[in-house]
Amino acid sequence: MSFNVKVLKAAHGDCILISGVFDDGIFRNILIDGGPSKAYEYRQFKGELFNELSKINKQQQVIDLLIITHVDDDHIGGLLKGFKNDGLLSLLTKKVWFNSGKLINEYFNQQENENLIVLNDSGEVGYTSIRQGVDFEEIIERKGIWDKNIIMASDIIHIFGIKFTFLSPNEDQLSKLLGKWEKEQPNSLTSSTHTDYDKTLLELIESDIFEEDNTIHNGSSLAFIFEYKNKRALLLGDARDSVIVNNLKKLLKLGESNRFDLIKLSHHGSKYNTSIEFLRIVDCDKYIISTDGSKHGLPNKVTLARVYSVKPMASIFFNYPNVIDSKIFKKCELEDLENKKFNILDGTIEF
């Protein structure tokens, strides 16, 4: 039995579709995030999420499980589009895992804070409550597809013969969503438009000092190990590096393997979410970065430098050709990079 992982073109966001026949003998589709709204539809143009959902519908299949890692527009915007006005997601989705504002507040037994904010489609910060969340919570609750269980690090869920082991968020990071999120300034860790492409990989490593993403919304991101039979993928959403590192260490002490067939790097290749320490812990030679390179100067070249300094024979997969064609590498680096494998995803990685 095999399954496919498709990293859909979702602009600067994440949208991952895992499909295959699992233990129950039924073909299953698991969707993780939905990118910004343009991943589903932008004006008269249909995005890859819409096209994939159309194929699923024509084949008389469903989205058996939808996982929302966190409430940033580049992960949830396309989902909201797909649910509104009886869209394809409204028709196809059977079960949802989502740490909503309401669920978080119920877990911590506190009053909901109407001043919480989420990112809107333009990338600006718009004041609205997580509870409202463009009505997403109400939609899935009304449809009766929401599995209302808070999910945190160390949770293990078995479904369809698949084992999900969660590494993020921890309770502390989740509880911070109960406080007001401060509006980020243009020079914040997640908002920079500056690239580091003017330096070589060697120069970046020689001057590298890791500084961690400190944003509350990324700290709340779900991240997990997807395990079926002997195949394991590590899907990190936008999770914080230290949370992932600490929880991987806990698993290793319990005798878990550090071997992964595939890792989707956190936060679109941001240098604030992938440390040398993390790369030394994991045993993997295939990494995915999901972004079109249009926002926040991502991916950071120093992230690529870190990967190759620790994993010199690794392959890095991108879901947009223009990211590789964006003059990340200097001419003097190209010969040295002959043995390094940069690949464009053709839409599917088969396991």
Round to whole Å and give the CA distance between 222 and 337: 33
Per DSSP bridges, beta strands 16-21 and 27-32 are antiparallel
Residue 253 has pLDDT above 80, yes or no: yes
The pLDDT value given to residue 103: 84
Mean pLDDT, rounded, for 39-49: 91
Predicted local confidence at residue 126, as pLDDT:
41
Its sign, for the CA torsion 244, 31, 51, 90, is negative
Give me the pLDDT at residue 179, please: 59
Residue 347: helix, strand or coil by DSSP? coil
Taken as a whole, the chain contains a residue count of 351
- Lookup result for tokens 């449809």: 143
Per-residue model confidence as pLDDT tens digits over 78-99: 999 999 888 999 999 999 999 9
What is the share, in percent, of the chain residues with pLDDT greater than 70? 85
Question: Over 60: is that where the pLDDT of 331 sits?
Answer: yes
pLDDT digits (tens, 9 = 90+) for 163-206: 999 999 999 888 877 654 433 333 445 556 678 998 988 899 99
pLDDT for the residue numbered 71: 83
Instruction: Kindly give the residue spans of alpha helices, DSSP state H, lying in 224-265.
Output: 241-253
Query: Tell me, what's the pLDDT at 189?
Result: 53
At 115 the pLDDT is: 52
Residue 330 has pLDDT above 80, yes or no: no
Sheet holding 96-98, edge to edge: 96-98, 65-68, 27-32, 16-21, 3-7, 349-350
Helical ranges in the chain per DSSP H:
48-58, 73-83, 88-92, 101-108, 136-143, 171-175, 201-206, 216-219, 241-253, 276-281, 301-310, 321-324, 331-334
pLDDT at 251 over 80: yes
CATH code assigned to 3-350: 3.60.15.10
DSSP annotation of 123 reads S
pLDDT above 90 for 347: no
Higher confidence at residue 181 or residue 249? 249
CA–CA gap between residue 2 and residue 260 (Å, rounded): 16
By percentage, how much of the chain surpasses pLDDT 90?
A: 60
- pLDDT in the model for residue 35: 94
Is 12 a residue whose pLDDT tops 90? yes
pTM: 0.91
Spatial distance between the Cα atoms of 277 and 341, rounded to a whole number of angstroms: 22
Determine the average pLDDT of the residues in 30-42: 94
Residue 111 pLDDT class (50, 70, 90 cuts): low
DSSP characters over 130-157: TTTGGGHHHHHHHHT-B------TT-EE
What one-letter code names the amino acid at 117? Answer: I
Which among 10, 201, 27 is positioned nearest to 18, based on CA atoms? 27
**What rounded mean pLDDT belongs to the chain?**
86
DSSP string for residues in 33-64:
---SGGGTEETTEE-HHHHHHHHHHHTT--B-
Q: What local confidence, expressed as pLDDT, does residue 105 receive?
A: 81
The 10s digit of each residue's pLDDT in 120-141 is: 444 444 433 344 354 688 889 9
Arithmetic mean of pLDDT, 140-159:
95
- Give the CA diameter of the chain: 59
Q: Which pLDDT does position 337 carry in this prediction?
A: 64
Summarize pLDDT for 263-304 with one digit per residue, the tens: 999 999 999 999 999 999 999 999 999 999 988 889 999 999
Indicate if the pLDDT at residue 114 is higher than 80.
no
Yes or no: say if 5 and 16 are a contact pair by the CB < 8 Å rule. Answer: yes
Residue that is written with structure tokens 């409430």 in the block: 71
The predicted pLDDT at position 328 comes to 82
Query: What residues does each domain of the chain span?
Result: 3-350
The reported pLDDT for the residue numbered 334 is 65
Question: Residue 150's pLDDT is what?
Answer: 95
> Per DSSP, what are the bridge partners of residue 226?
164, 233
From 3-12, 178-187, 210-219, 245-254, the region with the lowest mean pLDDT: 178-187
